[in-house]
Amino acid sequence: MSMATTAAPRLAFLREITLDRIITAILFVSLAAFFFVVLVIPFGLLLSTAFRQMDLMTYQFQDGYSFHQFLRFFSDAYYLRILFDTVVLALETTFVTLVLAYPLALYMSRAGVRERQILRLLSVSPILISIVVMNFGWVIVMAPQGLVNNTLMGLGLIDEPLPLLYSHVVVVLGLVHVHLPFMILAIDNGLGSIQPEVLKAAESLGASRWKTLRNVIWPLSINGVVSGSIVVFALTASSFVTPMLLGGAWTKTLATVAYQQILFTLDSPFGAAICLILLSVTATFSIGLTRLAIRLQPHRAAPAAPAPRP
């Protein structure tokens, strides 16, 4: 009897092997193959292309691998200037985004449930609308006959329209606008992890609201600030649509140069090399900022970089 009861599930298991297990195995293998083909291979290809050279007369790859593209980039003041400008633009945008996002996230964390829901929805809504369309809105605001110029002229502050469009300020503004939701969500996340008891404790110990903010809330929300800044910096440094639309032809960033190299000059090794330089810039920023946050807060654990988290 005991033999039969132990043998039966075993046999059932064997019977199951036939179809379901095969389906499962096929599923696993095909999914693995899919992600390998669409993600791992193209990225590996990008890596290897960056170390090749292309004959720009025939558009054929030359034999052999070298650091040619990287030497070309780092020995040319023109490209170094673009690298520098990209970093500055991304830093400015990240800073302004942080300054705007923090008060909103802070207010959201204290608002009632319904109000918080609405504010959250409104603040993520730009993620769902195309960048082009949102940038286009800024074109209307900043155009010679746009909102700002017409308002200033109506008030009699200026006689002629200011050349606002295609200026550095508008590019920063557009980038801040497009990436604000990511910062708000990250800080909102960070603030959400603060226990309400902690704030009550600070209050009962006589801390003023400003002191509570500076010494309790800000340090506890630093993880959100760091991960939001990493995301916004990476997205800004690699954006090319906004700089091209709002900055015009003379605003050059690493991403706009890569875009031009790939689609117009057709120098794919150089384009690939710029992509890798771009990735190293964003990686350096995220590692550097994480280190800085740890150094400033030695008593706290390392803030986690935004890890892939399904």
**Number of neighbours of residue 234 by Cβ within 10 angstroms:** 22
Is the CB of 234 or the CB of 293 nearer to another protein? 234
**C-alpha span between 167 and 304 (Å, rounded):** 36
The minimum distance between CB 71 and another protein, in angstroms, equals 21
- Which residue's CB is nearer to another protein, number 222 or number 274? 274
CB of 276 vs another protein, minimal distance in Å: 9
Smaller CB separation from another protein, 102 or 293: 102
CB of 94 vs another protein, minimal distance in Å: 15
Going from the C-alpha of 184 to that of each of 77, 108, 296, the distances in angstroms are: 37, 10, 22
Q: Of 117 and 215, which has the nearer Cβ to another protein? A: 117
The one-letter amino acid at 114? R
64 vs 308, beta carbon nearer another protein: 308
Contact 170, 147 (CB under 8 A): no
Instruction: Please report, for residues 2, 30, 249, 278, the alpha-carbon distance to residue 79 in angstroms, rounded to integers and kept in the order given.
Output: 78, 42, 16, 12
| Residue type at position 120 | R
Minimum distance, C-beta of residue 125 to another protein, in the bound complex (Å): 7
d(CA 15, CA 26): 18
Residue 281's alpha-carbon distances to 128, 163, 306, in angstroms, are 27, 32, 17
CB of 16 to another protein, least distance (A): 7
